[in-house]
Amino acid sequence: MTKWKCRMCGYVYNPEAGDEKSGIKPGTAFEDLPEEWICPKCGAAKSKFIKVG
């Protein structure tokens, strides 16, 4: 699965791990995250993420 990196702080969203602190289950693709989801590290908007592979 494709990982996405926050351009503000460098946090990498790994779909295989999800974001359990935000209630996002493992296996959730970045594209399937709610639009209101924010970076759990710095609070940046989803639009601030870039695809990293």
pLDDT score recorded for residue 1? 85
pLDDT score recorded for residue 53? 78
Residue 22 amino acid letter: S
pLDDT score recorded for residue 36? 96
Tell me the domains of the chain and their CATH numbers: 4-51 (2.20.28.10)
- Residues annotated within the binding site for Fe cation are 6, 9, 39, 42
Distance CA 33, CA 18 (A): 10
- Residues annotated within the binding site are 6, 9, 39, 42
How many helical (H) and strand (E) elements, i.e. helices and strands, does the chain have?
Answer: 0, 3
Convert the pLDDT of each residue in 1-53 to its tens digit: 899 999 999 999 999 999 999 999 999 999 999 999 999 999 999 999 999 97
The model's pTM = 0.92
